[in-house]
């Protein structure tokens, strides 16, 4: 019986909202328009990153003698304080751990130095070694930075080895030693870039991942932001009914206040779910956005709608008029958007701002959408939703308590 009453209240409010054309424009057209404009402004479909790139380094090199571990030297270059603004290096135990950090979104790139790295440099002419770069394909700028630093380091080592080979050939003396030196050097410097002795092997989890376009990142932020306003518009019907005397009378009926609040929550939840669904479909059709696997998308949609609905009810429970709801709600939503990264996405994922992002439910939701668009595992996406679900439970409990006291 309680479920029937909740559904009746929700259905009535949902039909009323669907007849409100200005509200529908704000909920559906505005986020799409802003996402398109901002996406074009930031470079269309390309990915972007503006913070220091996080790099996981696994040095498997055993060296040749004490103090001659060139793998450690490469790792030291990545950890150099002069590169602090560009690269944030973390040393891990092995190649598997390094790749796992990229797969889990904890690092943009993994630099994996092979066991025979030093031996290839100090060894015979035929020996080779390849440093593996395991890259998150969505971090174009970060990948370029890591590739440039590693490539330049290997180029220096190749040049040093070429010079050593040339010197060794020249030291042999005898007729034609200059030509031999030049030939030895030429064998180690090819193509004007990284030589054949030390090379870069680039890999990425592209077999199970997709690039998150700029428009996708922006639309995810706008979608989460405008769902807060969409939820607020529906929740304001409580104030309208309050002024008309409907809510006070409804609270005096045998229907439990929790059921009534549950019905209002359901009406907001259904509306926001429809809003998100329309935006997801429009984003896929208009901008070609890949939102992620179906399970991740469904869970993110439901949790996002729940967070927006519960927060809207809390705001409505503490205000008296629609004007107050609009002013106070807009202020709260704007602060949350700025703190949670709705206008910047997850590009800034390091430092103090990252901590601020993780203190908001929308910040966690954005990280969830970012993970879904990269086709990260469902488990990783679900991990981003624990905090938003906790916020939802707290918001709903506060709203139910305040409404109960308000109409006691």
Can you say how many angstroms the Cα of residue 396 is from the centroid of all Cα atoms in its chain?
A: 27
- Judgement on whether residues 192 and 260 belong to the same structural domain of the protein: no
Report pLDDT for 21.
58
SS3 344: coil
Can you say how many angstroms the Cα of residue 355 is from the centroid of all Cα atoms in its chain?
A: 14
- Judgement on whether residues 240 and 377 belong to the same structural domain of the protein: yes
Residue 404 contacts by C-beta under 8 Å, 6 or more apart in sequence? 257, 258
Q: What is the pLDDT of residues 24-70, one digit of tens each?
A: 555 666 666 655 655 554 444 444 445 678 899 999 888 766 667 88
- Judgement on whether residues 371 and 283 belong to the same structural domain of the protein: yes
Is the confidence at residue 128, as pLDDT, over 60?
Answer: yes
Domain boundary among 203, 220, 247: 203
pTM beyond cutoff 0.75:
no
Report pLDDT for 307.
95
Report pLDDT for 309.
92
56: exposed, middle or buried (C-beta count within 10 Å: 0-12, 13-18, 19+)? buried
Rounded to an integer, the average pLDDT of 338-363 is 77
Report pLDDT for 47.
45
Domain boundary among 181, 203, 225: 203
How many angstroms separate the Cα of 306 from the Cα of each of 213, 230, 301, 312, 396?
26, 12, 9, 10, 9
CATH number of the domain enclosing 128: 3.40.1710
Q: How confident is the model at residue 386 (pLDDT cuts 50, 70, 90)?
A: very high
Report pLDDT for 142.
75
Distance CA 337, CA 228 (A): 10
Q: Which domain holds residue 392?
A: 2-45+211-406
Task: Report which of residues 310 and 218 the model is more confident about.
Answer: 310
- Judgement on whether residues 295 and 326 belong to the same structural domain of the protein: yes
Report pLDDT for 356.
85
- Judgement on whether residues 294 and 366 belong to the same structural domain of the protein: yes
Q: What is the pLDDT of residues 198-240, one digit of tens each?
A: 455 555 554 444 555 677 888 888 889 989 988 888 788 788 7
Q: How confident is the model at residue 308 (pLDDT cuts 50, 70, 90)?
A: very high
Report pLDDT for 239.
83
Q: Are 342 and 366 in contact (CB under 8 A)?
A: yes
Report pLDDT for 162.
64
Number of CB atoms found within 10 A of residue 393's CB: 12
- Judgement on whether residues 150 and 9 belong to the same structural domain of the protein: no
Structural domain total, the chain: 2
Q: Are 151 and 198 in contact (CB under 8 A)?
A: no
Residue 104 contacts by C-beta under 8 Å, 6 or more apart in sequence? 376, 380
- Judgement on whether residues 125 and 185 belong to the same structural domain of the protein: yes
SS3 245: coil
Q: Are 197 and 126 in contact (CB under 8 A)?
A: no
- Judgement on whether residues 247 and 190 belong to the same structural domain of the protein: no
- Judgement on whether residues 57 and 80 belong to the same structural domain of the protein: yes
């Amino acid at each position: 019986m309680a479920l029937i009453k909740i559904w009746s209240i929700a259905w009535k409010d949902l039909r009323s909202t669907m007849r409100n054309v200005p509200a529908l424009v704000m909920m559906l057209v505005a986020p799409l328009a802003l996402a398109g404009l901002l996406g074009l402004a930031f470079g269309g479909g390309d990915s972007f990153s503006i913070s220091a790139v996080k790099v996981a380094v696994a040095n498997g090199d055993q060296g040749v003698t004490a103090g001659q571990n060139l793998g450690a030297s490469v790792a030291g270059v990545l950890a150099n304080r002069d590169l602090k603004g560009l690269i944030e290096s973390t040393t891990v135990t092995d190649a598997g751990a390094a790749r796992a950090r990229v797969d889990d979104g904890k690092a943009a790139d993994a630099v994996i130095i092979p066991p025979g790295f030093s031996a290839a440099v100090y060894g015979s002419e035929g020996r080779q070694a390849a440093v593996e770069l395991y890259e998150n394909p969505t971090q174009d700028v970060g990948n370029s930075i890591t590739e440039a630093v590693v490539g330049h380091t290997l180029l220096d080592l190749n040049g040093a080895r070429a010079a050593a080979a040339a010197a060794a050939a020249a030291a042999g003396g005898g007729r034609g030693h200059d030509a031999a030196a030049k030939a030895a050097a030429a064998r180690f410097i090819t193509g004007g870039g990284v030589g054949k002795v030390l090379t870069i092997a680039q890999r990425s989890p592209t077999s199970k991942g997709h690039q998150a376009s700029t428009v996708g990142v922006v639309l995810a932020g706008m979608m989460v932001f405008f769902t807060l306003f969409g939820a607020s518009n529906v929740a304001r019907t409580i104030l309208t009914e309050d002024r008309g005397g409907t809510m006070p009378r409804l609270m005096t009926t045998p229907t439990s206040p929790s059921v009534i609040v549950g019905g209002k929550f359901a009406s907001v939840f259904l509306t926001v779910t429809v809003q998100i669904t329309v935006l997801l479909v429009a984003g896929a059709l208009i901008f070609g956005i890949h939102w992620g696997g179906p399970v991740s998308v469904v869970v993110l949609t439901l949790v996002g709608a729940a967070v927006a609905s519960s927060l809207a009810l809390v705001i409505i429970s503490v205000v008296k008029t629609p004007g107050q709801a609009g002013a106070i709600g807009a202020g709260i939503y704007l602060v949350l958007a700025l703190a949670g990264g709705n206008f910047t996405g997850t590009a800034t994922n390091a430092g103090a701002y990252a901590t601020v992002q993780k203190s908001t439910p929308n910040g966690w939701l954005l990280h969830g959408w970012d993970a879904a668009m990269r086709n990260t595992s469902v488990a990783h996406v679900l991990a981003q939703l624990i905090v938003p679900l906790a916020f939802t439970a707290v918001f709903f409990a506060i709203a139910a308590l305040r409404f109960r006291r308000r109409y006691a």
